[in-house]
Amino acid sequence: MNLKDPSLFRQAALVGENWIEADPQNAIDVNNPATGEIIGRVPKLGAVETRAAIETAARVQKEWAARTAKERAGILRRWFELMIENKDDLGQILTIEQGKPLAEATGEIVYGASFIEWFAEEGRRVYGDLVPGHQKDKRILVMKQPIGVVAAITPWNFPNAMITRKAGPAFAAGCAMVLKPAAQTPFSAIAIAVLAERAGMPKGLFSVITGSAREIGAEMTSNPTVRKLTFTGSTEVGAELYRQSAATIKKLGLELGGNAPFIVFDDADLDAAVEGALIAKFRNNGQTCVCANRLYVQDGVYEAFSEKLAAAVAKLKTGNGMEEGIILGPLIDKAAIDKVEEHVADAVSKGARVIQGGQRHALGGTFYEATVLADVTQAMAVAREETFGPVAPLFRFKDEADVIHQANDTEFGLASYFYAKDLARVFRVAEALEYGMVGVNTGLISTAEAPFGGVKLSGLGREGSKYGIEEFMEIKYVCLGGI
């Protein structure tokens, strides 16, 4: 790394008002997935520190909520600007701990910062209602108030943006936040906490706790002071946190796994569909919850689309994300590459054809070749589970009813995509897909302005958009009588 501001790379956690430096005797090592080298360490904290952070958060939140929305917006705006000013450094920190290529990492910083910008603006537009009364002497007032202390648990695939999507609306609404970032990627979280302090955020409003996921999660879910838990990660862990939160009846925001279909109809613009598939499938090396997991291609264009896609995929350069021209980095860890390998082996054993890639990359480590599989069927593991790697499995379908049935035949419901030109078909298919999000003739749908979220086992609630801030507020009804 070659940081302009080395103080952004801090090997410490932020517990309430205090930074706790990593003690070599009790720390977690963080690796660079491209090289396997240890890049630093963070403190191994647990329930005690989490509880302390929650107590401080509860105190500071009251003062924060009492400020005007404009005042909060000013601090968030400054935080956004600092992220943009430091995007190159934040991008490097992200690449070195997560692996995605530098240009993509810097792109994530800009994307992540856009949520702080958006919610700084939205915070000033949290309107209540004045409802006509049900009796002559009554008036009905509806106000929105911050929910209070929020706990957040975030994954490694977007070490910046998955935090800002939660922190932006939480702080704009007047909440405090105690965050546990993923163990693989704590430094991006810590860097934005350094910038939050510089932006003038009150001390103790934002804590970043590193350490035992189980212990920190148990405290977050059982502590009655925490009124909302917002989590992005696997459905399995999300369900566990949901169970753990039951006793204290917390409000839950869950962004869980997906199994996105990507459908190419006969009338699609094939070149555009290939371009969309590259983004939807291979962004972050296939490691996003909105990544296309199943590509359904209609009979009439199946051969042409597979050839074009395989040719385009062959040009994607794999390597260390710090190097120039790299499009695909390493996978996050050994378990990730093992899963990709298993999915490809399972598909091939059941009759799939490898038309591009198909094995571990010559670079070794956790690098895997960008892969395209043809003749994939619903009987293969890739049809049911998220592969979370650079593998595009191509299914064949006959007609609209057939593909809608196959696309919806999953317990997940996060993102979906399709390419078609016929307007009536566009509406029919968009309405029939049982997903929280549908991309029509595009492979890239996430933005601060739009509501991101899933149905079925993909989660609860929405992030981003005008709806995102509501998740961090409670509605209070005031009945005014004697008027």
Q: Of 163-222, which residues contact ligand ADP (CB under 6 A)?
A: 180, 182-183, 213-214, 217
Q: Is 444 strand, coil or helix?
A: coil
**Residue 289 bears catalytic tag:** yes
Q: Is 334 one of the binding residues for ligand ADP (CB under 6 A)? A: no
Comparing CB distances to ligand ADP, the nearer of 39 and 183 is 183
> Can you tell me which of 31, 35, 234, 377 binds ligand ADP, judged by CB under 6 A?
234
Q: Shortest distance, CB of residue 42 to ligand ADP, whole angstroms?
A: 12
Q: Is 385 one of the binding residues for ligand ADP (CB under 6 A)? A: no
Comparing CB distances to ligand ADP, the nearer of 209 and 347 is 209
Task: Lay out the site mask for ligand ADP across 246-265 (x = CB under 6 A, - = otherwise).
Answer: --------------------
Comparing CB distances to ligand ADP, the nearer of 82 and 208 is 208
Comparing CB distances to ligand ADP, the nearer of 240 and 375 is 240
> Can you tell me which of 88, 240, 307, 385 binds ligand ADP, judged by CB under 6 A?
240
Q: Is 237 one of the binding residues for ligand ADP (CB under 6 A)? A: yes
Comparing CB distances to ligand ADP, the nearer of 57 and 394 is 57
CB 143: neighbour CB atoms within 10 A?
Answer: 15
- Rounded Cα–Cα distance for residues 309 and 314 (Å): 9
Q: Is 155 one of the binding residues for ligand ADP (CB under 6 A)? A: yes
Name the active-site residue from 108, 219, 289, 369. 289
Q: Shortest distance, CB of residue 374 to ligand ADP, whole angstroms?
A: 28
CB 28: neighbour CB atoms within 10 A?
Answer: 17
- 231 neighbors 385 (Cβ within 8 angstroms): no
Tokens matching residue 409 = 């035949």
Q: Shortest distance, CB of residue 242 to ligand ADP, whole angstroms?
A: 11
Which residues have CB under 8 Å from 432's CB, separation 6+? 404, 408
Comparing CB distances to ligand ADP, the nearer of 306 and 387 is 387
CB 180: neighbour CB atoms within 10 A?
Answer: 28
CB 156: neighbour CB atoms within 10 A?
Answer: 22
Q: Shortest distance, CB of residue 278 to ligand ADP, whole angstroms?
A: 23
Radius of gyration in angstroms for the set of CA atoms belonging to the chain, rounded to a whole number: 23
- Rounded Cα–Cα distance for residues 405 and 402 (Å): 5
- Rounded Cα–Cα distance for residues 205 and 124 (Å): 19
Choices 105-113, 118-126, 230-238, 306-314 (CB under 6 A): range interacting with ligand ADP: 230-238
Tokens matching residue 350 = 């059941």
Name the active-site residue from 104, 255, 369, 386. 255
Distances (CA, A) of 327 to 102, 315, 317, 319, 323: 9, 9, 5, 8, 10
Tokens matching residue 464 = 């981003």
Choices 20-28, 150-158, 277-285, 429-437 (CB under 6 A): range interacting with ligand ADP: 150-158
Choices 38-46, 47-55, 153-161, 417-425 (CB under 6 A): range interacting with ligand ADP: 153-161
The residue type found at 454 is G
- 276 neighbors 441 (Cβ within 8 angstroms): yes
Q: Shortest distance, CB of residue 102 to ligand ADP, whole angstroms?
A: 22
Task: Lay out the site mask for ligand ADP across 439-468 (x = CB under 6 A, - = otherwise).
Answer: ------------------------------
Strands 27-31 and 38-43: antiparallel
- Rounded Cα–Cα distance for residues 180 and 197 (Å): 18
Comparing CB distances to ligand ADP, the nearer of 61 and 221 is 221
Q: Shortest distance, CB of residue 106 to ligand ADP, whole angstroms?
A: 22
Comparing CB distances to ligand ADP, the nearer of 57 and 151 is 151
Q: Shortest distance, CB of residue 298 to ligand ADP, whole angstroms?
A: 33
Which residues have CB under 8 Å from 330's CB, separation 6+? 33, 34, 99, 285, 320, 321, 365, 366, 367
CA angle in degrees (0–180, nearest 5) for 141-145-151: 155
Which residues have CB under 8 Å from 303's CB, separation 6+? none
Q: Is 233 one of the binding residues for ligand ADP (CB under 6 A)? A: yes
Q: Shortest distance, CB of residue 337 to ligand ADP, whole angstroms?
A: 14
CB 427: neighbour CB atoms within 10 A?
Answer: 11
Tokens matching residue 43 = 């403190």
- Rounded Cα–Cα distance for residues 423 and 96 (Å): 44
Binders of ligand ADP: how many residues, by CB under 6 A? 13
Strands 149-153 and 176-180: parallel
Closest CA to 193 of 42, 55, 67: 42
Q: Is 153 one of the binding residues for ligand ADP (CB under 6 A)? A: yes
> Can you tell me which of 86, 98, 106, 154 binds ligand ADP, judged by CB under 6 A?
154
Q: Is 340 one of the binding residues for ligand ADP (CB under 6 A)? A: no
Q: Where are the alpha helices (DSSP H) in 135-231?
A: 161-173, 186-198, 213-222
Comparing CB distances to ligand ADP, the nearer of 258 and 439 is 258
| Residue with smallest beta-carbon separation from ligand ADP | 217
Residues of this chain that bind ligand ADP (CB under 6 A): 153-155, 180, 182-183, 213-214, 217, 233-234, 237, 240
Residues taking part in catalysis? 255, 289
